Amino acid sequence: MKCTEVLFKSPSDLTALANNPRKITKADFQRLVDSININGFWQHRPMALEEKDGKLVVLAGNQRLKAARKLKLNEVPCVIYSDLTEEERVDIITRDNINNGEFDDVVLNEDPMYAELDLDFIGLQLPEPEIPEAPKKKAKAKAMDPEPGDPDSEDDGDDEDLVDDSKEAFYRSMLGDFLYDSDNKFEIPNLLLDQQPKHVELPLNPWGANSRLRKGVSTYHFYVDDYRFEALFKDPIKLLQSGCKQIVEPNCSCHDQTPIAFGIYQIYRKRYLARYFQECGVKVWVDLNVSHKFIEYNKKGIPDGYNAFFTRGLDGWLESLKLDLKVAQEISNLEKPNLCVYGGGEEIQEFCMKNGLLYVTDFINAKKM
């Protein structure tokens, strides 16, 4: 077996392995694309090639090849093998993605070096910490029970475990198959007027920006890739257990190219989840960030007079923000509605100041810069 030093080849000059035994989910592939887009290719892990019938066939790195083509990269790091036996060829193909060993979750959680590591972004899940079962208190004989107000009473009133258990039981009881009231033909649930916030409570964090659920986050927004919050539609309890007080509705992607039926489904499920959170005591900001095609559909389920809105500001998209402002004005019946704008740069920030809107810095992009 022979191997060259690291070379750089155009993805268009490479041929994907036929019958590649490795597969990848859409979510994991998107993580790979995002990682390469941000960090580039690691030269210490080049793609493994073999020249066969005049073609450079990728033995290891086929998913990276797909990602490179999607990103339209000009070149990628490679090494070229030759004089391989069948056994060596199979070993390269199969062992490239096998991890021997495992991560030490204690180190990842406690070492300050990894405090800002986004585990969701790299596709790593740490095991949930085991919570020891609280010991059951033995019942005392009735004659030995302390009188109410007895200073010698051992009952300190601290039943936090029981309270947490009862909260989770309540959250799950509210998670059944419910039909909420609706004022539209699509039966998109109505939001509750008494569960709208007046101000943004800090800290405000993007959901999924850090895979470790942080206690003390008051408000979560979802201006992140959809895969980061998709699991909440199956089990939203994790968010409720974080103790957050407010959320911005999940920003399910609705583009102009999105079929109308699917777009309505996206709006239905984000508003259903928002209503569920309201029923559990979490206040909700309405997400107005949809394409022009879905503006009217996105109004469904927002009661007249609702006045808590969020949208995403984007550089060069001032006209879109103006439309979002009109929607907020129409629903709230106010010239200066309670509309918060997340990111967008100097032009968007200046527009917000002139129109009495709250501008919030884009946490993720500001961090990258």
Whether 305 contacts 277, CB under 8 Å: no
The tokens describing 171, both together, are 């959250």
The whole-number average pLDDT for the span 70-85 is: 92
State mean pLDDT over 218-245: 90
Question: How would residue 319 be classed by pLDDT, with cut points 50, 70 and 90?
Answer: very high
Helices 62-70 and 26-39: angle between axes, nearest 10 degrees: 70
Determine the average pLDDT of the residues in 19-41: 82
Local confidence band at 369 (pLDDT 50, 70, 90 cut-offs): very low
pLDDT of 236-249, one tens digit each?
Answer: 988 888 889 999 99
Tell me, rounded to whole angstroms, the distance of Cα 297 from its chain centroid.
23
CATH number corresponding to 2-95: 3.90.1530.10
Please count the helices (runs of H) and the strands (runs of E) in the chain: 12, 13
Query: Higher-confidence residue: 140 or 193?
Result: 193
Phi and psi, residue 128, nearest 5°: -65, 140
Q: What is the mean pLDDT of residues 311-331?
A: 95
Summarize pLDDT for 91-144 with one digit per residue, the tens: 888 877 665 456 666 665 666 665 555 555 555 555 554 444 444 444 333 333
Instruction: Return the higher-pLDDT residue of 105 and 180.
Output: 180
Q: Is 344 helix (H, G, I), strand (E, B) or coil?
A: coil
Residues 6+ apart with CB under 8 A from 109: 126, 212
Q: How far apart are CA 182 and CA 179, in angstroms?
A: 9
What is the pLDDT, as a whole number, of residue 47?
Answer: 92
Measured in degrees and rounded to the nearest 5, phi and psi for residue 61 equal: 115, 25
Confirm if 272 and 233 have CB atoms less than 8 A apart.
no
Span 305-310, mean pLDDT?
98
Q: Which of 164-178, 207-221, 313-327, 352-366 has the highest mean pLDDT?
A: 313-327
pLDDT at 17 over 80: yes
179 or 341, which is more confident? 341
pLDDT at 60 over 70: yes
Say if residues 191 and 273 touch (Cβ distance below 8 Å): no
Sequence spans of domains, the chain? 2-95, 165-368
Distance of CA 11 to the CA centre of its chain: 30
Place of tokens 């709006």: 267
User: Would you give the distance in Å from CA 251 to the centre of its chain?
Assistant: 10
As a 3-state breakdown, the chain gives helix, strand, coil percent values, each rounded to 5, of 35, 15, 50
Tell me whether the omega of the peptide bond preceding residue 129 falls within 30 degrees of 0, making it cis. no
Q: What pTM does this model have? A: 0.58
What confidence category does residue 273 fall into, taking pLDDT thresholds of 50, 70 and 90?
A: very high
DSSP class of residue 198 equals S
Backbone Cα Rg of the chain: 26
